[in-house]
Structure 1
Amino acid sequence: MLLGLPTSVTEARECLAEGAVPIGGATLVWATWQRDGFPERAMSLRELPEANVIGPEALGAAVVLNRIDDRTPEVLRRAAGSVGTGAVRRTATVGGNIVGSSLRCLLPAALVLDARATVLESDGLHETDLAEVAAKRPLLLGLHWRRPIASAYRKLPGEAGGPPPLVVATALHADGAGQHRLRVAVRDGYDVLSGSTPCDTGTGTDTGTRTGTGADAEQVLHALKGTALGDLAATAWEVVGRQVCDLLSHPGSH
C-alpha cells in the first residue's frame, strides 16, 4: 500500500484523483484490510495544515482525539474524552469518528455547536452541513462554529456487548437582541436526534451570570418536546431534562 501524505489542498485533491482511500487514524479500517486486503493507495491528512486546526471555533478532521483540549468548547472536549480507551484516542481522528464510525460520538457535540463542515471533493473545497456529511461521507477537512456561551456533554455508562450508551449534548448560544438559543442533540442507539428552541432568559450573555430559572427550564423543555427530541423514550428524556436545567441554571460552570 502506497500512503500519500499531502501538505496542501492541491496535493490532497491529486491523491483523491489517483484513487487514494482516506484512512484517518486507521482504527476503523485496519482489521478489515487485514482480512480483505489492503488498497493500492491510501491518504492521510496528518500533514495538511487545514486539517490540524484546534481552536475555540474550529477543529480539523486530522486531529487525534486526545489532542482536543480546553482550547475547544467543553461539549467537544468531553465528547472526545469519552471515546474508547486512551490507546484509541491517541490514534482515532475527528474525521474518522464523525464520517467513518457508526457510533459518531462527536456528532451530537458538533450538532449543538451548529457546526459547518469543510469537505474536499474532486473539484475543490466546499462548505456543507452535518446532515450531508453523515449521509454522503465525504472527505472531511474540518469543522467550524460560533463560540457558545456554555455547553455540556454526558455519556451514560454502557453495557458490554449492549447497544451504544445514551449521549446527550447541549449548548447555549447568543441569538441576537439579548436572546439565547438552546441546542440539544441525543444519540439514542445508533440514531442521532436534535432540536433547538429560543431561550429568552431576560439576561445578557455574560457567562458569569445566572441565565435561567426553573420556570424558564420548564418552558424550554416543553418547546423541545415539539422537535424531533419529542420521540425520545421517557428514560432518555429524563436525562435531557436534568442536563438542560443544569445548563440554564449554571451556565458559568460549563
Structure 2
Amino acid sequence: MQLRLPSSIAEAQRCLAEGAVPIGGATLVWAGWQRDGFPEQAVSLRNLPEAGVVGPEELGGAVLLHRVDATVPEVLHRAASGVGTGAVRRAATVGGNIVGSTLRCLLPAALVLDARATVLDPDGVYDTDLSELLAKRHVLVALRWRTPLASGYRKVEGAAGGPPPLVVAAAVHAEGPASGAPDAPARLRVAVRDGYEVLSESTPYDADAGAEQVLDALAGTDLAGLPATARDAVRAEVTDVLARAAAA
C-alpha cells in the first residue's frame, strides 16, 4: 500500500481523484484491511496545514486527539480527552472519530457548538453542515464554530463490554450580533449519545428565566423520550452550564 501525504489542497484533491482511500489515524481501518486486504493507495491529511489547526474557533480534521487541549471550548476538550486510552488518543484523529467511527465521541460536542465542516472532495473544498458531513462521509479538513458563553460535557460510566457510555454535551451561545443575526435570541444546545444514537435539540435561552423554564422547553423535544437516567444526566449538565453562562 502506498501512503500519500499531500501538503496542499490541490495535491490532496489529486490523491482522492486517483482513488486514494482516506486513512485518518488508521485506528479503525487497520484491522479491516488486515482481514480484507489493503487498498493500493491511502491518503493522510497530517501534512496539510489546514487540517492541523487547533484554535479557539477551529480544529483540523487531522489533529490527533491528544492535541485537542484547552485552547478549544471545554465541551470539545473534554470529549477528546475521554476517548479510549492514551495510546488511542495519540493515534486517532478528529476526522476519523467523527466521520469514520460508529462511536462518534466528538460528535455531540461538535453539534452543541453548532460547528460547520470544511470538507474536501475531488472537485474542491467547501463548507457544509454536520448532517451532510456524516451522510456523505466527506473527508473532513476542519471544524469551525463560534465561541459559546459556556459549555460542558458529561460522560456516564458504562458497563464493561456493554454499549457505548451515555454522553451529554451542552453549550449556550450568545444572542445578537455575536450570533451573526442581530435579533437572534441566545440559545442552549444539547446533544446526547445514547447507545450508538445521537440526539440534538436547542431552545432559546433567557438568563432571567431560570433553568427550570429551559428544562421545561427541552421536555417538549425528542429528548423527553430518553431513559430516566439519561434525562437526569441532561438535567444536571444543563443546570451546570446555564449557571456558568449566567455568570459569564
TM-score, with length taken from structure 1? 0.92
The CA distance in 2 between the partners of 1:130 and 1:47, in whole Å, is 24
Q: What residue number does 1:133 align with?
A: 133
Q: What residue number does 2:74 align with?
A: 74
The CA distance in 1 between the partners of 2:247 and 2:133, in whole Å, is 32
Relative to structure 1, the CA distance from residue 80 to residue 253 in structure 2 (aligned partners, 3 Å threshold; closer, same or farther) is farther
The CA distance in 1 between the partners of 2:39 and 2:170, in whole Å, is 39
Q: Residues 191 and 201 of structure 2 are in contact (CA less than 8 Å); yes or no, is this contact kept in structure 1?
A: yes
- 1:248 is displaced (CA, Å) by 1.2
Q: What residue number does 2:25 align with?
A: 25
Query: SS state of the match for residue 105, structure 1?
Result: coil
Q: What residue number does 2:193 align with?
A: 187
The CA distance in 1 between the partners of 2:20 and 2:104, in whole Å, is 23
User: How do 1:102-251 residues align onto structure 2 when only pairs under 5 Å count?
Assistant: 102-176=102-176, 179-202=185-208, 216-251=210-245
Q: Residues 179 and 201 of structure 1 are in contact (CA less than 8 Å); yes or no, is this contact kept in structure 2?
A: no
* Alpha-carbon displacement from aligned partner over 1:88-132 (angstroms, at most 9, x marks no partner): 000000000000000000000000000000111121011111111
- 1:179 is displaced (CA, Å) by 4.3
Query: SS state of the match for residue 120, structure 1?
Result: strand
Q: Which amino acid aligns with 2:36?
A: D
Q: Which amino acid aligns with 2:224?
A: G
Q: What residue number does 2:47 align with?
A: 47
Relative to structure 1, the CA distance from residue 158 to residue 253 in structure 2 (aligned partners, 3 Å threshold; closer, same or farther) is farther
* Alpha-carbon displacement from aligned partner over 1:2-61 (angstroms, at most 9, x marks no partner): 111000000000000110000000000111111111110000000000100100100000
Aligned length: 242
Q: What residue number does 2:179 align with?
A: none
TM-score, with length taken from structure 2? 0.94
Query: SS state of the match for residue 143, structure 1?
Result: strand
Q: What residue number does 2:59 align with?
A: 59
Q: What residue number does 1:35 align with?
A: 35
- 1:226 is displaced (CA, Å) by 2.0
Query: SS state of the match for residue 210, structure 2?
Result: helix
The CA distance in 2 between the partners of 1:52 and 1:235, in whole Å, is 37
The CA distance in 1 between the partners of 2:44 and 2:94, in whole Å, is 13
* Alpha-carbon displacement from aligned partner over 1:57-100 (angstroms, at most 9, x marks no partner): 00000000000011100000000000000000000000000000
Structure 2: 5+ residue stretches without partners? 177-182
